[in-house]
Structure 1
Amino acid sequence: MNDLVKRLSEAKHPVCVGGPSPSLEELQKRLEEIEYVFIKFPETSGGTDLGVRVDKAATNVSKADFKQRTGVVHVEGALTLNYVKVRCVADIDLATLQGKGHLIVLEEI
C-alpha cells in the first residue's frame, strides 16, 4: 500500500479546510449545494489537499451554526488517493476551520 495512504489511515491527523478559497462561506456552499469539499492534511510533505465527494448520509452538520461561526461539522466522503479507494473522515471546527481527520482504506485499485 502507498506510504501516504497508510500513514493517513493509521491515526487521526490535523486537518483544515482546503481548496482554492478556504473560507466558512465556501465550506457551507460546498457542503449544502456542491456536495464536494476540500480537506487538507497540512502536516504531510507539502500538505495533501483532497477533493472529497460528500456522503450526505454520513456527514453531520447538526452541531454547526454557520451564522455564528460555532460548532463542529462531521464530514465523510469517498475518493481515490494514489490508486487506493479511501473514505475521508474529518471533524472541522467552524471557528478555526481546522480539526482532526483520517482515511479509511476501502480497496486498492
Structure 2
Amino acid sequence: MDELVKRLSEGDHPVTVGGPQPSVSELRKRLEEMGYVFVKFTDTRGGTDLGVRVDKSATDLSRAAFDQASGIVHIEGTLTLNYVKVRCIADIDLETLNGTGHLVTLEEVHL
C-alpha cells in the first residue's frame, strides 16, 4: 500500500479547507452546488491538498451556520490518491476552517 495513504488512514490528522481561495462562502458553494471540495492534510511535507467528490448522503451540514461562520461541517467523499481509491472523512470548524480528518482505503488500483 502507498505510504501516504497508509499514514493518512491511521488515526485523525489536522486538516484545513484547501483550494485556491478557502473561505466559508466558497466551502458552502462547493458543498451545496458543485459537490466537490478541497481538504488539505497539513501534517504532511508541504501539505496534501485533496479534491474530494462529496457524498451528499454521508455529508452532514445540520450543525453548520454558514451565515454566522460557525458550527461544524462533516464532509465525506471519495477520490483516488496515488492509485488507491479512498474515502475522505473530515470535520471542519467553520470559524477557523480547520479540523480533523482521515482516509479510509476502499481499493488499490492495479496498473
If the length of structure 2 is used for normalisation, what is the TM-score? 0.97
1:49 is aligned to: 49
Deviation at 1:15, TM superposition (A): 0.2
Give me the whole-angstrom Cα distance separating, in 2, the residues matched to 1:30 and 1:56.
Answer: 11
Q: Which runs of 5+ in 2 are unaligned?
A: none
Q: Which runs of 5+ in 1 are unaligned?
A: none
1:35 is aligned to: 35
Q: SS at 1:67's partner residue?
A: helix
Give me the whole-angstrom Cα distance separating, in 1, the residues matched to 2:25 and 2:81.
Answer: 26
Alignment RMSD: 0.4
After TM superposition, list the pairs within 5 Å mapping 1:1-109 onto structure 2: 1-109=1-109
Deviation at 1:20, TM superposition (A): 0.6
- Cα displacement string for residues 52-109 of structure 1 (whole angstroms, at most 9, x for unaligned residues): 0000000000000001111000000000000000000000000000000000000000
Give me the whole-angstrom Cα distance separating, in 2, the residues matched to 1:83 and 1:70.
Answer: 35
- Cα displacement string for residues 17-68 of structure 1 (whole angstroms, at most 9, x for unaligned residues): 0001111110000000000000000110110000000000000000000011
Give me the whole-angstrom Cα distance separating, in 1, the residues matched to 2:70 and 2:25.
Answer: 13
